[in-house]
């Protein structure tokens, strides 16, 4: 049996965004007559039939009772806990949650932003892929409420919920220095993300306050994925004068760094110390237990969802910015 055509099929045939197809069907927004004709032609050719029941439910009382959440990596336990916080608030308020995973990929992020708009979500929560994210700003211009989590935009007066990344990194590196380490390798996040930049600033400030020089060869920038943590740890530990400790700036990169340390046969903390930003599953039962900066991930999601519901109710209220404090959990890896 032939699969019915979808909204995505129509968009691809007409060579337009999914949101353009949705606006054509619902007769909302300004769309050129030529574009509308192309969309309608694609619908006829593919035999696409809009779901009238779904459209009626979405437009009833001006609300779809749907929220969208776009996260960069569902394998990252921070975002899994954040998603739970969002979902709990959504469910308590009679909203359903559509969850999308963009893998730090700009094209994927744009795709899911289009999908969520086509589904007429009432609002979207996401960490922008970088500080100047035109796709997110366009969604805001389209009139859809947006709350940023974990990362922020350099432009756009939006609600946001973040962790104090600078303080978390500062405390972590201060702890490493207090253990006697003077050459500390940084496995950092993307330099164009607010999260990556603030954790780098904390690393540098801890050095400055301790009177230690900041050495460029000890600083590496990754992409918040496990593979980059492994690669960058190998690079740092291969230096002629390698660091005696590593600070990895998220959970997945910490896991990659641990793989590299194990592959080189090094003992933690005797031969190399390590501290991670993010609690990993089973961190406390590692051998040795892992020292980490624990983020209040569930609370970030909870507060973000509450802010989004307030924004949906009152689009003109002033933007709110929340910054939550992380906690340094000292164990035995450094």
Instruction: Return the HEC string of 167-195.
Output: HHHHHHHHHHHHCCCCCEEEEECCCCCHH
**Is-contact 135 110, C-beta < 8 A?**
yes
For residue 55, the model assigns a pLDDT of: 55
- Token reading at 106: 């700009």
Looking at residue 88, what is its pLDDT? 98
CA–CA separation, 45 vs 290, rounded Å? 58
Cα-based distances in Å from 139 to 61, 125, 147:
22, 12, 11
pLDDT value for 290: 96
| Dist. CA 69–CA 116, nearest whole Å | 9
How far apart (Å, rounded) are the C-alpha atoms in residues 161 and 296?
Answer: 11
Helix (H) / strand (E) element for 110: namely: helix 106-118
First to last CA, the chain: 61
Q: What is the structure's pLDDT at 257?
A: 97
Q: Tell me what pLDDT residue 112 has.
A: 94
Query: What is the model's pLDDT at position 31?
Result: 80
| Residues facing residue 98 across a β-bridge | 68
Mean pLDDT, contiguous 10-residue spans, the chain (334 residues):
78 88 74 86 82 51 82 91 97 94 92 88 92 87 93 84 97 98 97 91 98 98 95 98 97 96 97 95 86 97 98 93 97 96
């Amino acid at each position: 049996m032939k699969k019915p055509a979808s909204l995505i099929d129509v968009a691809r045939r007409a060579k337009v965004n999914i949101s353009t197809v949705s606006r054509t069907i619902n007769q909302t927004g300004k769309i050129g007559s030529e574009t509308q004709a192309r969309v309608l032609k694609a619908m006829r050719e593919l035999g696409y039939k809009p779901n009238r029941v779904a459209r009626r439910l979405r437009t009833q009382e001006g609300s779809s009772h749907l929220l969208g959440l776009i996260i960069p990596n569902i394998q990252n336990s921070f975002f899994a806990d954040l998603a739970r916080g969002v979902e709990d608030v959504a469910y308590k308020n009679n909203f359903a949650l559509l969850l999308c995973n963009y893998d730090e990929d700009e094209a994927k992020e744009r795709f899911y932003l289009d999908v969520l708009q086509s589904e007429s979500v009432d609002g979207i929560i996401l960490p922008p892929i970088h500080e100047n994210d035109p796709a997110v700003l366009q969604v805001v211009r389209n009139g859809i409420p947006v709350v940023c989590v974990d990362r922020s935009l350099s432009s756009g007066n939006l609600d946001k919920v973040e962790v104090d990344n600078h303080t978390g990194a500062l405390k972590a590196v201060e702890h490493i220095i207090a253990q006697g380490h003077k050459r500390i390798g940084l496995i950092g996040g993307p330099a164009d993300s607010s999260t990556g930049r603030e954790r780098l600033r904390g690393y540098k400030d801890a050095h400055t306050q301790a009177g230690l020089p900041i050495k460029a060869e000890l600083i590496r920038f990754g992409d918040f994925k496990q593979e980059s943590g492994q690669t960058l740890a190998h690079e740092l530990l291969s230096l002629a004068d390698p660091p005696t400790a590593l600070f990895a700036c998220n959970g997945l990169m910490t896991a990659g760094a641990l793989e590299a340390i194990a592959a080189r046969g090094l003992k933690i903390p005797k031969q190399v110390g390590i501290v991670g930003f993010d609690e990993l599953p089973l961190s406390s039962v590692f051998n040795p237990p892992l020292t980490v900066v624990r983020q209040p991930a569930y609370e970030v999601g909870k507060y973000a969802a509450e802010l989004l519901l307030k924004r949906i109710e009152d689009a003109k209220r002033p933007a709110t910015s929340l910054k939550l404090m992380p906690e340094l959990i000292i164990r035995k890896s450094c």
